[in-house]
């Protein structure tokens, strides 16, 4: 079939009333630059392998630079960005431009483009997560000894510190970071050279293309390479996890701001169009809601992928945008939460007053009795009795008489009980590993700072390796164009 007939054939198969429904061209703007890079690496490899001659490679690479400069907007119509760029190259070069698509298919091409782009997006998401963690560690350090009420079931539970509370979220976000880095690692593999799904008779160098594009290796099995979208749901699952962590943090801060424990900086608050006095934590409410976007993306993706046969099916075109939506939303949420945390003001006097409200030191008193020979369950019973009638020393003394049969000072001296009733002493006493006492907090702060450094280095290394690949590819392209 001649080239002229080929164009007609393409028109026949995608020019009808379903044209728009079929096309991913608009959504593909996201992978425009990725496709140009993938085309470049492929053409360089084709030339190196003698599959296209250097002059043709040079013409194609020059045309790709024109396409790149003109941008996605200027592309001719096409079923997708891959077809449109190819058309633009053929328009520039003539029929020889069609040699660009030798030894590949849009199936391996699109999978490579998505991975290429998602890598950057995952790094952005990780960086937003690191910034949030950094803010949490900095504020935790600053408020390591700022008393705060701790809750279970949203009921006053035990005194803790703002620092300990904040670090709890940093730890969760460290695991979110680890999941994102894992997803990055499996995303960063090249499908290119798989062709449609069954390889190619051309002597392609798949490793070379992977190198030029900064991938850590290839997906060896050609059918797997074009079919696989587990990197998408793994990434989106990690992002949904991140969004879930952020939603919890946002919810806690909304509740704390409601109680006057924390005030958001004006930049992170909104007011009301009717109620002049209002300062609302809208940014955190939106950050809390992003879990909905990310979870929708995950379930959309998994539903689309479920039961798909090998190797390429057009359903995959609708899988991809779920990942873009999820990564954008989760990154924004982490970003905004980081800013809100970094700039919020903690109201130390309100917090200190609330730290002891609701007999939050009750557990400490029971612990004290248990460390002086009373079985913990009996001590629990005794303190519960006291809780009903005042929760002070006298109430505890009366409860000791009635439940234990002896006055309180038969078990433990009064000064120790008074200390246990003090929220600050209560916090200081809980110095077990991971607890809120200052020594235990110092260890946790140091560990968090170390973990943060290590994760920063991992992201730096990933950025550097991508930048190095971009440079190599550019200098290889310059050899021809």
| 179/431 Cα distance (integer angstroms) | 30
Indicate the pairing of strand 345-346 with strand 155-161: unpaired
From the CB of 315, what's the least distance to ligand ARG, in Å?
A: 9
CA distance readout (Å), 450 to 174, 406, 444, 454, 457: 11, 51, 10, 6, 11
Q: Is 295 a catalytic residue?
A: no
Closer residue to ligand ARG, CB minimum distance, 309 or 405: 309
Closer residue to ligand ARG, CB minimum distance, 231 or 411: 231
| 451/175 Cα distance (integer angstroms) | 10
| 352/357 Cα distance (integer angstroms) | 9
Q: Is 143 a catalytic residue?
A: no
Place of tokens 């007053």: 353
Closer residue to ligand ARG, CB minimum distance, 146 or 320: 320
Among residues 2, 153, 273, 432, the one annotated as catalytic is 153
| 429/415 Cα distance (integer angstroms) | 14
- Residues lying near ligand ARG in the complex (CB under 6 A) are found at 24, 80, 82, 106-107, 110, 312, 314, 316-317, 320
From the CB of 324, what's the least distance to ligand ARG, in Å?
A: 12
DSSP single-letter state for residue 76: P
| 261/195 Cα distance (integer angstroms) | 59
DSSP single-letter state for residue 308: P
**Beta carbons of 337 and 246 less than 8 angstroms apart:** yes
Cis upstream peptide for 311 (omega within 30°): yes
From the CB of 195, what's the least distance to ligand ARG, in Å?
A: 11
CA proximity to 94, closest of 213, 166, 4, 203: 4
| 122/127 Cα distance (integer angstroms) | 9
From the CB of 219, what's the least distance to ligand ARG, in Å?
A: 16
**Beta carbons of 166 and 341 less than 8 angstroms apart:** yes
CA proximity to 176, closest of 333, 65, 39: 333
**Beta carbons of 167 and 442 less than 8 angstroms apart:** no
Among residues 14, 164, 227, 272, the one annotated as catalytic is 272
From the CB of 318, what's the least distance to ligand ARG, in Å?
A: 8
DSSP 339-371: HHHHH-EE-HHHHHHHHTTTTTTHHHHHHHHHT
Q: Which helix (H) or strand (E) holds 147?
A: strand 147-152
| 461/468 Cα distance (integer angstroms) | 10
> Who contacts 190 (Cβ-Cβ below 8 Å, separation ≥6)?
112, 115, 206, 209, 210, 213, 215, 217, 218, 219
Catalogue the active-site residues. Answer: 153, 272
């Amino acid at each position: 079939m001649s080239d002229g007939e080929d164009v007609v054939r393409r028109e026949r198969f995608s020019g009808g009333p379903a044209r728009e429904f079929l096309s991913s061209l608009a959504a593909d703007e996201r992978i425009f630059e990725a496709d140009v890079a993938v085309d470049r690496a492929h053409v360089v490899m084709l030339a190196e392998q003698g599959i296209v001659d250097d002059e043709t490679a040079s013409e194609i690479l020059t045309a790709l630079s024109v396409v790149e400069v003109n941008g996605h907007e200027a592309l001719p119509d096409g079923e997708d960005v891959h077809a449109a760029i190819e058309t633009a190259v053929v328009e520039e070069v003539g029929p020889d431009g069609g040699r660009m698509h030798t030894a590949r298919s849009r199936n391996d091409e699109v999978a490579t483009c998505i991975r290429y782009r998602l890598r950057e997006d995952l790094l952005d998401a990780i960086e937003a997560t690191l910034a949030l963690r950094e803010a949490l560690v900095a504020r935790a350090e600053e408020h390591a000894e700022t008393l705060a009420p701790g809750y279970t079931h949203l009921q006053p539970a035990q005194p803790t510190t703002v620092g300990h509370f904040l670090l709890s979220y940093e730890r969760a976000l460290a695991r979110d970071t680890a999941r994102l880095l894992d997803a990055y690692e499996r995303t960063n593999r090249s499908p290119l050279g798989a062709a449609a799904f069954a390889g190619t008779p051309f002597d392609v160098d798949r490793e070379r293309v992977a190198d030029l594009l900064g991938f850590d290796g290839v997906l060896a099995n050609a059918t797997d390479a074009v079919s696989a979208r587990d990197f998408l749901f793994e990434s989106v699952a990690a992002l949904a996890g991140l969004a879930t962590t952020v939603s919890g943090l946002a919810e806690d801060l909304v509740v704390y701001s409601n109680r006057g424990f924390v005030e958001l900086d004006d930049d992170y608050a909104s007011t009301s169009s009717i109620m002049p006095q209002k300062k609302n934590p809208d940014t955190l409410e939106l950050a809390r809601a992003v879990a909905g976007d990310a979870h929708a993306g995950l379930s959309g993706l998994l539903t689309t992928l479920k039961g798909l046969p090998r190797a390429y099916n057009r359903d995959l075109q609708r899988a991809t945008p779920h990942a873009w939506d999820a990564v954008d939303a989760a990154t924004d949420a982490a970003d905004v939460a980081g800013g809100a945390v970094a700039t919020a003001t903690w109201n130390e006097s309100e917090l200190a007053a609330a730290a002891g409200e609701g007999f939050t030191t009750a557990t400490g008193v029971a612990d004290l009795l248990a460390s002086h020979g009373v079985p913990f369950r009996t001590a629990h019973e005794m303190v519960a009795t006291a809780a009903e009638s005042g929760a002070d020393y006298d109430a505890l003394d009366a409860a000791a008489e009635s439940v234990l049969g002896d006055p309180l000072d038969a078990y433990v001296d009064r000064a120790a009980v008074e200390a246990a009733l003090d929220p600050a002493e209560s916090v200081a006493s809980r110095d077990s590993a991971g607890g809120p006492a200052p020594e235990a907090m110092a260890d946790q702060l140091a560990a968090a700072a170390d973990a943060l450094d290590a994760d920063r280095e991992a992201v730096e290394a990933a950025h550097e390796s991508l930048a190095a690949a971009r440079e190599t590819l550019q200098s290889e392209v310059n050899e021809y164009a």
